Amino acid sequence: MAYKEVVVKKPLLLIILPYASLILFFGLWQAVVQFGIIPNTLLASPSQVLTTFIDKLTNANPDGATMGAHAWTSIQEAFLGYLLSLVIGIPLGLAMGWFNIAEGLFRPIFELIRPIPPIAWIPLTVFWFGIGLAGKVFIIWIAGIVPCVINSYVGVRMTSPVLIQMARTYGASSWQIFTQLCIPSALPMVFGALQLALAYCWTNLVAAELLAADSGLGFLITMGGRLGRPDIIVLGMICVGISGAIIGFVIDQVEKKLLAGIRR
């Protein structure tokens, strides 16, 4: 006698509103530049950006690489740094939340490093790694690991103490409570960390590329500035925005799937 499933329809207005908002935004933008309200030397119109985009797909001039090459550099850097921060940050945070030894060992160092903005590491990383891939990955790793550790730690700490007592009365060992109770109940927080860390990684990637790079989306933006080409600047910005949104959307979908049982 399971419940019957029905399809709930969304009102039409709520379905079209997001699209209408986007169309209105780009329409206004186009008009503002087209009619000279903002001079073209300060801002490029969406149609100009689109033309530049199509051109840049195959043309490496004037900044030294095609669109695809820039995007590939950025994605590589972001993905590696992001992955490293998850792989190290989440287990570290989870362990700090449950094992007093891990907390005592890592918390002081973590609290010391945490307030330093990742960008402050750039000069040192240029010394250590030059302006290639490794340096940027390091910056992004520093940026992403902070929310991973904090959220995982808090997630474990927020496990209901009565639930822990209950598990103990069923004879669960400390390790069993950690793996079977604390980690699942920390998962919503951990997924929050995935989103947060991504935002941190992505913004710091662009910042790192602005200062020290020879390719990548952030570098494209810098070059647009140096060459006095607003269309290239805006193209770089939009690409950063869209790629970030796509990755965020994918994580959101994965989260919804995995946490089906917890969400109400």
Partner 1 sequence: MSDMKLKLRCENVSKTFIQKGNQEVPVIRDITLSVYENEFLVILGPGQSGKSTLLKIFAGLEQPDTGTITLDGKPVEGPGPDRGLVFQSYMLFAWKTVRDNVELGLKLRGVPAEERRKTAQHYIDLVGLTGFERHYPHQLSGGMKQRVGIARAYANTPSIMLLDEPFGQLDAQTRMFMQKETARIWEQERRTVIFVTNNIDEALFLGDRIVLMEGKLPGTIKTEYVLDLPRPREHTGMDFLRLRKEITDNTELVL
Q: Which of 168, 210, 211, 251 binds partner 1 (CB under 8 A)?
A: 168
Nearest Cα to Cα of residue 71 among 81, 61, 79, 62: 79
Cβ–Cβ < 8 Å for 53, 235: yes
Cβ–Cβ < 8 Å for 8, 24: no
Identity of the residue, 42 or 162, whose beta carbon is nearer to partner 1 in the bound complex = 162
Identity of the residue, 166 or 227, whose beta carbon is nearer to partner 1 in the bound complex = 166
Query: What's the CA gap between 141 and 29, in Å, rounded?
Result: 36
Identity of the residue, 36 or 257, whose beta carbon is nearer to partner 1 in the bound complex = 257
Query: From residue 235 to residue 264, what is the string marking binding to partner 1 with x (rule CB under 8 A)?
Result: ------------------------x-xx-x
Does residue 187 bind partner 1 (CB under 8 A)?
A: yes
Identity of the residue, 184 or 192, whose beta carbon is nearer to partner 1 in the bound complex = 184
Identity of the residue, 37 or 162, whose beta carbon is nearer to partner 1 in the bound complex = 162
Cβ–Cβ < 8 Å for 67, 53: yes
What token pair was written down for 256?
């919804």
Does residue 181 bind partner 1 (CB under 8 A)?
A: yes
Identity of the residue, 42 or 260, whose beta carbon is nearer to partner 1 in the bound complex = 260
Does residue 6 bind partner 1 (CB under 8 A)?
A: no
Report the nearest approach of partner 1 to the CB of residue 8 (Å). Answer: 16
Q: Which of 31, 163, 246, 250 binds partner 1 (CB under 8 A)?
A: 163
35 CB burial (10 A radius; 0-12, 13-18, 19+): exposed
Report the nearest approach of partner 1 to the CB of residue 103 (Å). Answer: 23
Does residue 4 bind partner 1 (CB under 8 A)?
A: no
Which among 35-43, 56-64, 158-166, 247-255 is the span making contact with partner 1, rule CB under 8 A?
158-166
Which among 140-148, 156-164, 209-217, 234-242 is the span making contact with partner 1, rule CB under 8 A?
156-164
Report the nearest approach of partner 1 to the CB of residue 160 (Å). Answer: 8
Identity of the residue, 109 or 260, whose beta carbon is nearer to partner 1 in the bound complex = 260
Query: What's the CA gap between 46 and 180, in Å, rounded?
Result: 51
- Interacting residue ranges for partner 1, rule: CB under 8 A: 1-3, 160, 162-163, 165-172, 176, 181, 184-185, 187, 259, 261-262, 264
